[in-house]
Amino acid sequence: MLMQPATIPSALAAAGGLAQTKATMWPAGIVSVRRKQNGRMAAFRKFDMSDIPAEWELLELQDGDVVTFQWHVVMNDDA
């Protein structure tokens, strides 16, 4: 359960954190937030996790926000 106001790090912790990094998959560092605007979901903010200061950690989430972490995946040649 998230306490209010929620931030991206607190929501991520409540969801169990990021998956463990593997040789073929790791966080790409992009965090996108979509928020309902004018009755539909729209891109609200996009952050790079390596930015200093880490503004993505301070954004207060609203009920219904969708947070997406982008992953870099390397496909095996034998797949």
What pLDDT does residue 8 have? Answer: 83
Q: Do 48 and 9 touch, CB atoms closer than 8 A? A: no
According to the model, what pLDDT value does residue 79 have? 45
Contact 30, 45 (CB under 8 A): no
Q: Within the chain, which residues score under 50 in pLDDT?
A: 79
What is the pLDDT at residue 37? 92
Q: Are 67 and 31 in contact (CB under 8 A)?
A: yes
pLDDT of residue 16: 79
